[in-house]
Structure 1
Amino acid sequence: MYLVRGREYLAQHPNFTLVGREHDLERISSILIRKSSNSLLLTGPAGVGVSTLTLGLQAAKNNPDTPFDLIVKKLFWLNCDALFSSGDSTKINNEFQSILKKLMQTPESVLIITDTANFLEAAHNTGNAHFINALNNADKSNNFQVILEVRDDKLSSVLKASTNMPELYTLYDVKEPAGDNLNSIVTTVAKELSAYHKIEVDKDAIDEAIHLTCKYRDSLGLGGAQPQRAISLLDRALASYRQLTHKQHPKIAELMGKIAKSTSETEQHDLRQQLEQWQQDWQNLKSEISKTYQYQRDAETLRFKLQDEITQLQEEEDNNKNSESVSIKTFAQLTAGGFDSPAVSKLKEKIRQIDAEIAQNNEQHQKLVMLANKDLRLNRQEVIAEFSKISGISANKLDENEVENLINLEANLLSRIFGQDNIVKHVANSVKVARVDRLEESGPAMSYLFLGPSGVGKTEMAKALAEYVYGDEKSLVRFDMSEYMEKHAVAKLIGAPPGYEGFEAGGILTNSVRTKPVGIYLFDEIEKAHPDVFNIFLQILSDGRLTDNVGRTVDFSDIMIIMTSNIGQPYYLDPNLTDEEARELATNELNNTYRSELLNRFNGRENILHFKRLPMEVIERIIRREIDKLNQSYSHRGYTIEIKDSCISTFCHDHYDIIRGARGLPGYIKTNVRPFIVNHILHNPHDQGVFKAIYNQQAHSFDMEFYKN
């Protein structure tokens, strides 16, 4: 009752096939046949396929190539809902002890608990918090093994439940599949989705679903990890496409488009005839489908009604049976209808007839649906449209060509980063090399160290790269290193050791990368961090991986790391020094501050980049860009903002502060110009016209005037 045999559990998942997980299955199998620590703690993010792996173990037993050591294992799944359903602590404890006894008496048995966190919580709530210790003590006997499945966000609480966990269990962290493995998994599930929706799925649609859900990881509602993200997107796209096309067949829209484009009256006449015929046939088909569906509902309603009548008759007969002799049943009743009365037998015969008609009608309904869907295919454009609805990112942006984006990367960066052309070129070229060559190199995708005065484009470069390389500025994750000044800051990043406060929370950095393993990580003002923190970065920059406090390996291979530092700030701000002199002095200070092994990890120091002071003409360009942004923001309301170039030049000379850099001037616009515009709009919501800003050099401020159209 509480233990489900492996073959029975597998039977609940017909046509199950494990694909793309051969390596994981092999590793898990090797752990199960070890002598010590041969129980498993399987963990991974939601949607990664932890439960699928254990099911794959059972399925593998039917494979003739599977080693005998695995075939002899007897897998049992624990039915936790049934075990804890009574709520009776004593009964639950007795049943659990009976389960353990049965497993210990069954050679080569393996107990699988699919949601360990819920199991522990249910045990605690019913007064059986000792279950985990009882399980571990039984496991120590080596008479049976255990596989505990747990989501990674619950792993710390499970490990904390017993001090014996690291000794008895081998932690296996199930990673997201990638490349061909991910493609094979999604393709296999896409066939199941296609059969369910009765719509074919193009390979391009599968590839696009994988591409979008790998590139844009912050989109909500698609599950936590691959392959679930791509599968969920395909399912939602099929549902939307099915709903849309069942309203109006794509062929009708295609004919309407041809009519609109045609210039020949004869061709238009033929197309209109085809359109009318298609519309008529489509309406007839939809009407037939609706009829079969309505018949199905009516037949099922009648069946439920007859079943209620049978129940009522049987209750009446049972009441009569209590007051009459049992011998009154006739021989005909006993032979023709078993122990049913003629009335009940008649109703049951009607139900059998209805069941046959329902089956026949359902077959006809399925044929009509297949006919309606025979020309429908889900393509990549439908997947893009669905993802656009989910993410809010425009379909045009999602459909951008990756190659064109790389070709235009330098130009796009230059449109946002002014006065740092050499750095932009260097970064653009290194990104192209990393994205195209794909050499098997250790370390993160890319790593940079940005030096230079404040407000010259270091953070703006990180934001621009997030948008043009990873598709969205949301792919930028920022760490303020002033928060990691203490010696124990390392524990904040990778998690506190077991037994220390905060162990359950895990590490801020490792948790973030596990959740968001693709994008840009900006570590701002690294000189403020404690020196011990850089031991972590040595490993990240060299190997591209990091192990957290519970032993999970975090992969940085798809992460671009950008660090910024204020080292050498006085040299950059000294007007008596040229850019080259300031760079040389800052480099000397950098060498005296950090170990060579850290600096060398930035591509042999080639990616240590020095941002220059911005000349006045660049500052003026930045202000002009801010005015252009204002015009874009208010154009839909019918407003325009005008400032003469001479006013911008005078304003910049008066207000530019080399210490604050370019940040100070846009801040002035936001604080002094925009409020005037907003207040006018609030008081005159129907106005349209031009705001003219004239710089008053004596007052060191803008005089704003409005001219109504």
Structure 2
Amino acid sequence: ALDISLIVAGTKYRGQFEERLKAIMKELTENPNIIVFIDELHTLVGAGSAEGSLDAANILKPALSRGEIRCIGATTPAEYRKYIEKDRSLERRFQAVKVDPPSEKETIEVLMGVKDRYESFHHVEYTGEAIEAAVYQSSRYITDRFLPDKAIDLVDEAGARAKLREAGYSEEFGEINRSIRVAVEQMETAVSEKNFEKAQFYREQEVQARENLQFVRERFDVKSNSRRVVVGKAEIDEVVSKWTGVPLTSINQDEGDKLLRMEQELHRRVISQEAAISAISRAIRRSRAGLKNPNRPVGSFVFLGPTGVGKTELARALANFLFGSDHALIRFDMSEYMEKHSVSKLIGSPPGYVGHEEGGQLTEKVKRNPYSVVLLDEIEKAHPDLFNILLQVFEDGHLTDGLGNRVNFKNTIIIMTSNIGARFIQKKASLGFQSTDATVVSRSVNDMVLGEVRKTFNPEFINRIDEMIVFEALSDDDLRTITRLLVNQVNDNLVDRKIHLDISTDVVDWIIEQTCKDRSYGARPLRRAIQRYIEDPLSEELIRGRLKGGEIEVYLEAGVLAYRTAGETETEGRPLAGGV
């Protein structure tokens, strides 16, 4: 192997680099059985060149053309195009051979061949299941790297983690290192104060700590050599979870029960909307069962309905259910992309424009979080050029950013929300229908809403969407349930103070009556109402020291909210502060 950087290193005067390279070429010419390998072949271009002199590539060209030296180079397609294809004479002297990544089956054979080295180095033992998991999990979850590199890295890190965990080495090692650092700092302080007796004391402490450190290292090596730790599939899953951010429950194959309970889990956060939750649950189960097109996103949906009925909340709940955190939701407000020029912000500016090197807002976020829910809020407000960009994502599952990088969307769920046709849903809710007519009316309203959508979006855009889901307007019972959920969130914040609020049904109805007279706003006013009528007065009572903990009952008395603690009678109740 020939390292070009080592040949260049230390050359001060003209001719030194050429002299070194000529000596290497002479050695290769005199020994025809030697094949030289140059990694990062593109570094030949320009290496060692100065004004009026040749670079490494031009020095090697005559010998390569005459066949005097045998050379194999390795580089990436992008660097080959950038450096070698431009120099036609250099390109002609090499035969380009494309090396494709091995298949999963071939990668397992590669890992079986190298695992002995990693077992010897880490003093562990890899099970066959761990090797297979490293290949399959890396193929599924690590999309920006190639086999066998990513699978080997998985095996390496899993072995290192298992070794450290078994020995308990890292914690003890860190504690001794901290004691050494403290002793050195105190010794330097004592020397600066010219207190040499104290400095000698801390010096002895440092020496003792370093001896302990050496003892721990030797003990660790003996323990590791005497007993090998077994690395299985669980350790591989843990590393994949650390790398990708996908929770372990999603990686493990025993998530079937969780997926079958998906509707129940989503209903804990999203009230009503049976049809919407059922449709999205079916799509996710199809994907997890392997029945979806592998070249498309997990799902692409349009959520239609009036404001405040749970469209965005369902997207958040879905991100939390699938990926373990609300942070897995990537949200874009489409009102920011109403102008033609603003659409380029999603994929990055083209070459020559300001900000070209920064990449796109959408592509960069998905690149960093390939397992996520992408929410495009109020999609109808976006410029029509945005829909042309999304066509490629929906059909092929990838998008090319302004830097020319292909970003994988095959593991994302794309949700678009819209208020198109909301007036039909609100009109249906305000009129009210008997239960016998509800199904017929719902179908009619859905048809009217979807008709509005077809007038707004192009057919090629609509055809690529998996499902358009119409959200129903919220009923009185739905609003009561949502109010209870919001109060439970307040109780979660009061856990540290050991306070629990108990809200009577009259209070719930009173809050809804005060805030939801106009149903066109949905449930959004309820959050503001809880803050105004419950949280603000409660915070004043806490600051005044009137609430010490326990069960607090909030009830309605003469049109005013009041509270009493456990054990107090109704006559002892007090109005909540703030004059509500």
TM category (shorter chain) comes to 0.5 to 0.7
Aligned residue in 2 for 1:640: 500
CA positional deviation for 1:685: 11
Task: Report the CA distance shift for 1:296/1:522 in structure 2 as closer, same or farther (over 3 A).
Answer: closer
**Are the equivalent residues in 1 in contact too, given 2:250–2:322 (CA < 8 A)?**
no
Give the letter for the 1:573 counterpart: Q
SS in 2 for 1:561: strand
Where do residues 176-255 of structure 1 align in structure 2 (5 Å cutoff)?
Answer: 191-205=116-130, 226-227=150-151, 230-231=154-155, 233-244=157-168
**Are the equivalent residues in 2 in contact too, given 1:452–1:568 (CA < 8 A)?**
yes
**Are the equivalent residues in 1 in contact too, given 2:246–2:371 (CA < 8 A)?**
no
Aligned residue in 1 for 2:8: 83
SS in 2 for 1:623: helix
CA positional deviation for 1:146: 6.9
Matched, 1:598 2:451: no
Aligned residue in 2 for 1:627: 487
Distance 2:505 2:356 in 1: 58
Aligned residue in 1 for 2:471: 611
Aligned residue in 1 for 2:396: 543
**Are the equivalent residues in 2 in contact too, given 1:384–1:398 (CA < 8 A)?**
yes
Give the letter for the 1:234 counterpart: A
Matched, 1:95 2:32: no
SS in 2 for 1:521: strand
Aligned residue in 2 for 1:470: 323
Distance 1:178 1:411 in 2: 39
Aligned residue in 2 for 1:692: 553
Distance 1:632 1:192 in 2: 51
Task: Report the CA distance shift for 1:384/1:498 in structure 2 as closer, same or farther (over 3 A).
Answer: closer
Give the letter for the 1:609 counterpart: I
Task: Report the CA distance shift for 1:183/1:497 in structure 2 as closer, same or farther (over 3 A).
Answer: farther
Q: Which of the numbers 646, 658, 670 marks the counterpart of 2:519?
A: 658
Aligned positions, number: 498
CA positional deviation for 1:208: 6.5
Task: Report the CA distance shift for 1:135/1:427 in structure 2 as closer, same or farther (over 3 A).
Answer: farther
**Are the equivalent residues in 2 in contact too, given 1:209–1:233 (CA < 8 A)?**
no
**Are the equivalent residues in 2 in contact too, given 1:241–1:382 (CA < 8 A)?**
no
Task: Report the CA distance shift for 1:589/1:294 in structure 2 as closer, same or farther (over 3 A).
Answer: closer
Deviations 1:535-574 (A, max 9, x none): 1111111122223334433322222111112222333333
Distance 1:174 1:482 in 2: 45
The percentage of counterpart residues that share the same residue type is 25
Task: Report the CA distance shift for 1:641/1:84 in structure 2 as closer, same or farther (over 3 A).
Answer: farther
Distance 2:525 2:18 in 1: 68
CA positional deviation for 1:534: 1.2
Deviations 1:421-459 (A, max 9, x none): 122112111211221133555321211111111111111
Aligned residue in 2 for 1:668: 529
What are the ranges of 5 or more consecutive residues in structure 2 without an aligned counterpart?
Answer: 66-70, 144-148, 172-210, 433-440, 569-580
Aligned residue in 2 for 1:521: 374
Distance 1:184 1:550 in 2: 36
SS in 2 for 1:79: helix
Distance 2:474 2:309 in 1: 6
**Are the equivalent residues in 1 in contact too, given 2:162–2:231 (CA < 8 A)?**
yes
Aligned residue in 1 for 2:196: none
Task: Report the CA distance shift for 1:399/1:472 in structure 2 as closer, same or farther (over 3 A).
Answer: farther
SS in 1 for 2:523: helix
**Are the equivalent residues in 2 in contact too, given 1:639–1:689 (CA < 8 A)?**
yes
Give the letter for the 1:529 counterpart: A
CA positional deviation for 1:665: 0.9
**Are the equivalent residues in 2 in contact too, given 1:213–1:229 (CA < 8 A)?**
no
Give the letter for the 1:479 counterpart: F
CA positional deviation for 1:110: 7.1
**Are the equivalent residues in 2 in contact too, given 1:190–1:234 (CA < 8 A)?**
no
Distance 2:320 2:461 in 1: 28
Give the letter for the 1:373 counterpart: R
Give the letter for the 2:17 counterpart: E
Task: Report the CA distance shift for 1:555/1:641 in structure 2 as closer, same or farther (over 3 A).
Answer: same
Q: Which of the numbers 10, 30, 40 marks the counterpart of 1:113?
A: 40
**Are the equivalent residues in 1 in contact too, given 2:122–2:160 (CA < 8 A)?**
no
TM-score in terms of structure 2 length: 0.68
SS in 1 for 2:271: coil
Give the letter for the 2:425 counterpart: Y
Deviations 1:576-634 (A, max 9, x none): 5965454333322211111101101113xxx1111111111101101112222333443
Q: Which of the numbers 415, 422, 431 marks the counterpart of 1:569?
A: 422
CA positional deviation for 1:403: 1.0
CA positional deviation for 1:643: 0.4
Give the letter for the 1:623 counterpart: T
Aligned residue in 2 for 1:511: 364
Task: Report the CA distance shift for 1:542/1:382 in structure 2 as closer, same or farther (over 3 A).
Answer: closer
Give the letter for the 2:262 counterpart: L
Distance 2:445 2:52 in 1: 66
**Greater CA drift, 406-415 or 161-170:** 161-170
Distance 2:88 2:297 in 1: 30
**Are the equivalent residues in 1 in contact too, given 2:124–2:163 (CA < 8 A)?**
no
Give the letter for the 2:312 counterpart: T
Distance 2:567 2:113 in 1: 63
CA positional deviation for 1:77: 3.4
Task: Report the CA distance shift for 1:393/1:109 in structure 2 as closer, same or farther (over 3 A).
Answer: closer
Task: Report the CA distance shift for 1:210/1:528 in structure 2 as closer, same or farther (over 3 A).
Answer: farther
Distance 1:696 1:213 in 2: 62
Where do residues 165-184 of structure 1 align in structure 2 (5 Å cutoff)?
Answer: none
Task: Report the CA distance shift for 1:705/1:445 in structure 2 as closer, same or farther (over 3 A).
Answer: same
SS in 1 for 2:519: coil
Deviations 1:634-670 (A, max 9, x none): 3354221110122112211221243432222123324
Aligned residue in 1 for 2:190: none
CA positional deviation for 1:97: 10
Aligned residue in 1 for 2:282: 429
SS in 1 for 2:384: coil
Aligned residue in 2 for 1:502: 355
Give the letter for the 1:618 counterpart: D
Distance 2:72 2:299 in 1: 43
Matched, 1:378 2:305: no
Task: Report the CA distance shift for 1:515/1:369 in structure 2 as closer, same or farther (over 3 A).
Answer: same
Deviations 1:101-155 (A, max 9, x none): 9889999987533998xx99x99xx998999x968988999969975569x9xx9
CA positional deviation for 1:531: 1.0
Give the letter for the 2:276 counterpart: I
CA positional deviation for 1:408: 1.1
Give the letter for the 1:243 counterpart: A
Distance 2:73 2:406 in 1: 23
CA positional deviation for 1:515: 2.8
Give the letter for the 1:662 counterpart: A
Give the letter for the 2:227 counterpart: N
Give the letter for the 2:521 counterpart: R
Aligned residue in 2 for 1:417: 270
Task: Report the CA distance shift for 1:682/1:435 in structure 2 as closer, same or farther (over 3 A).
Answer: same
Distance 2:310 2:283 in 1: 18
TM-score in terms of structure 1 length: 0.57
Aligned residue in 2 for 1:353: none
Aligned residue in 1 for 2:193: none
Give the letter for the 1:372 counterpart: S
Task: Report the CA distance shift for 1:114/1:645 in structure 2 as closer, same or farther (over 3 A).
Answer: farther
Distance 1:176 1:669 in 2: 57
